[in-house]
Amino acid sequence: MRGETDRGISPVIGVVLVVAMVVVLSATVAVYVLDFGDQRATQAPQMAIVAEYSERTSGNGEYLNLSFESGETLDKQNLSLVVSGARDSGGTAAPLTGDPLGTQAPTRITSGIEITMHAGHFDAVDPAAGEHLDLSEATLRLVWKPTDAGDADSYVIYRWPEPSRR
């Protein structure tokens, strides 16, 4: 009787091993055929940026300096500044119309570069009329878009003020 029960186990183990090998081989072939191996997620560059915010109301009003302290070298053409919530001293929305990156940054941004945003970069702020820039409720995002990215791939690499400080 012992020999009869042993024979039933061998075919079951053999079928399980064959099925497992087919599954592993199918997955391996699928990876190569569907080209999963070349699809790597784009990594946003790492850059240490320090913001210096001035709340002065005289002259051109408030300004914001961004100092690139350390990290990877960035191409200016892949960066954009998005500012929301800036106002003039009367409370009117003042959209960013100037290009502080385009006018102040070199083609390759490395440590030691500083960008200043002031009233001259914002629409609806007229220092000659006694108005000044109000950034107290504003937010700024420095957005990086890879050169070879599609329309959907962009990364916020710096945010001011930090969300924890709002």
DSSP conformation letters of 40-87: -PPPPP-EEEEEEEE---STTB-EEEEEEEEE--EEGGGEEEEEES-E
Asked if the model's pLDDT at residue 151 lies above 90, the reply is no
Burial grade of 78 (CB within 10 A; 0-12, 13-18, 19 or more) = middle
pLDDT band for position 123 (50/70/90)?
Answer: confident
Q: Where are the domains of the chain?
A: 2-38, 47-165
Provide mean pLDDT across the span 78-94. Answer: 89
- The confidence score (pLDDT) of residue 37 equals 55
- The confidence score (pLDDT) of residue 44 equals 83
Provide mean pLDDT across the span 80-86. Answer: 91
Total-model pTM: 0.68
> Across all residues in the chain, what is the average pLDDT?
82
Provide mean pLDDT across the span 30-35. Answer: 76
Q: What is the DSSP letter of 107?
A: S
pLDDT band for position 68 (50/70/90)?
Answer: very high
Nearest to 52 by CA among 66, 62, 39, 70: 66
pLDDT band for position 84 (50/70/90)?
Answer: very high
Q: What is the DSSP letter of 35?
A: T
- The confidence score (pLDDT) of residue 58 equals 66
Phi and psi at 139, nearest 5°, equal -130, 145
Give the integer Cα–Cα distance in Å for 55 and 3. Answer: 91
Higher pLDDT, 97 or 152: 97
